[in-house]
Structure 1
Amino acid sequence: MTPDLSKVAWRKASLSETANGCLEVALLDDGRVAIRDNEAPDSPPFVVTAHVWACFLDGAKNGEFDPPR
């Protein structure tokens, strides 16, 4: 079930101020994280648990999603 996100505070990376397109995240009261494309804010967001979000951030910080060189 998608929670009511009408009053959440969406945040985005500072790099998005100089580049087109980014993801926005909102930390929900129940510990989950909502994720949306800032170019389609009216589309349904993707909601994940705090654990899933932590795993994603860890992978991103460790370069696991970087393109092959």
Structure 2
Amino acid sequence: MSPSALNDAQWRKSSFSGNNGTCVEVAALADGRIAVRNSNRPEAGTVFFTSAEMDAWVKGVKAGEFDDLA
């Protein structure tokens, strides 16, 4: 994915993001993937998920499966 394509994506920042560097953004891409990055350091890289992977992640978060990591 080209950097310009990511720059043109419609990024959404989590409402739980803070000013202390814990800022997460997501964007739905034209090819169906979901991009995730740190909004404070977008140049540091982007992680890509399929819709199925993101669905599994969201369901796991809602079920509390990752609560021990926070």
| CA deviations over 1:10-60 (Å, ceiling 9, x no partner) | 1121121x4531211001112100000122111220111111011100101
- The equivalent of 2:62 in structure 1 is 61
Unaligned ranges ≥5, structure 2: none
State, as a whole percentage, how many aligned pairs show the same letter: 38
Runs of 4+ deviating beyond 4 Å: none
Distance 1:45 1:60 in 2: 20
Q: Which has the larger share of helix?
A: 2
Which TM-score applies when normalising by structure 1? Answer: 0.81
Which TM-score applies when normalising by structure 2? Answer: 0.80
1:28 to 2:32 alignment: no
Unaligned ranges ≥5, structure 1: none
Distance 1:55 1:22 in 2: 21
Alpha-carbon RMSD: 1.7
